[in-house]
Amino acid sequence: MRLTVLTSALAGLLLTSSCSEAQSSGETEKNQADKGKKEGKKGKKNKGNAPTADLQRLGELSGGVPESSGLARGPRPGTFYTHADAGNAPVLFEVDAQGKLLNSLKLPVENTDWESLAQDNSGNIFVTDAGNNNNSRRDLVIYRLNPSQPQQVGRISFAYADQSEFPPTKSDRNFDCEASLWHNGQLYLFTKDRAQHSTSKVYTLPDQPGKHTAKLLTKLSIAGEVTGADLSPDGRHLALLGREQLFLLEGNSLDEALKATPKVISLSGAGQTEGVVFTDNGTLVISTEQGAIYQYKL
């Protein structure tokens, strides 16, 4: 009888211990699964493990401005020029930092596919009409004007030095340009790699009207599609915009920055980011096609 009771007690103890271990194991697996789900969500939100930018939302375009495909500094601090892309009127919109429409400048040219604005030190604006989704355009042009005389527009027509097919094979379609900037009398064009999504080609052009060949300067390893570009006033920070991504390249000059490894910053949730401009050496203003305006501090 005692042996039977002792055996039963021992069996109960072993069963309780086994159940506790199983429960503990189950809880551990559940905790690990929950942790994995959280990390997975975090990874989806933060593409490519890039740090998420601390974007400050300034405002949203209003007053009939349809979208923002490019961005440049306006005539007064805190104002900006922007524009819409293909299918819209050839208009430069002057807006404030909150997106309020201040003025409209209609240009005596076409908007085949305006995609970017560049700006020199004298206040001249360069409207880059080089959107080229199919890589088949032969009428690429950049319009040069001073906003104080919007009816006087110079044409900088160009073709890419290394393009011979219109369009090239799908694997070579890297002749779409949605990003440009001005520096020391030259225009710099950054391509949107629609084929491989891995390389932005950098071309240079004179900033004077005429027919020119865009010379291939270098190629940048960019894991995405470049949609905007600007250089800080001191020439040390090159900002390239992508789809909800910011690529920062730094050096003591633009030449050095073009050789640097890009720092990738996630702009997840911002929208279709397309316009970018430095307001000082450490501050960027970014706009989206949906009309949102953000500020980012380096």
Q: Is the pLDDT of residue 42 over 70?
A: no
Q: Percent of the chain having pLDDT more than 70?
A: 83
Mean pLDDT of the chain: 87
- Region 45-74 average pLDDT: 83
In the prediction, which pLDDT does 53 show?
Answer: 74
- Region 113-129 average pLDDT: 98
In the prediction, which pLDDT does 52 show?
Answer: 74
Quick one: three-class SS letters along the chain? CHHHHHHHHHHHHHHHHHHHHHHHHHHHHHHHHHHHHHHHHHHHHCHHHCCECCCEEEEECCCCCCCCCEEEECCCCCEEEEECCCCCCCEEEEEECCCCEEEEEECCCCCCCCCEEEECCCCCEEEEECCCCCCCCCCCEEEEECCCCCCCCEEEEEEECCCCCCCCCHHHCCCEEEEEEEECCEEEEEEECCCCCCEEEEEEEECCCEEEEEEEEEEEECCCCCCEEEECCCCCEEEEEECCEEEEEECCCHHHHCCCCCEEEECCCCCCEEEEEEEECCEEEEEECCCEEEEEEC
Q: Percent of the chain having pLDDT more than 90?
A: 82
Determine contact, residues 246/240, Cβ cutoff 8 Å. yes
In the prediction, which pLDDT does 31 show?
Answer: 44
2 against 137, higher pLDDT: 137
- Give residue-wise pLDDT tens across range 242-251: 999 999 999 9
* 271, burial (CB in 10 Å: exposed 0-12, middle 13-18, buried 19+): middle
Sequence-ordered list of residues with C-beta below 8 angstroms from that of 175, at least 6 positions apart, any chain: 132, 135, 160, 163, 168, 191
Determine contact, residues 210/234, Cβ cutoff 8 Å. no
In the prediction, which pLDDT does 50 show?
Answer: 63
- Give residue-wise pLDDT tens across range 4-30: 433 343 344 333 444 444 444 444 444
Q: Is the pLDDT of residue 270 over 50?
A: yes
- Region 289-296 average pLDDT: 97
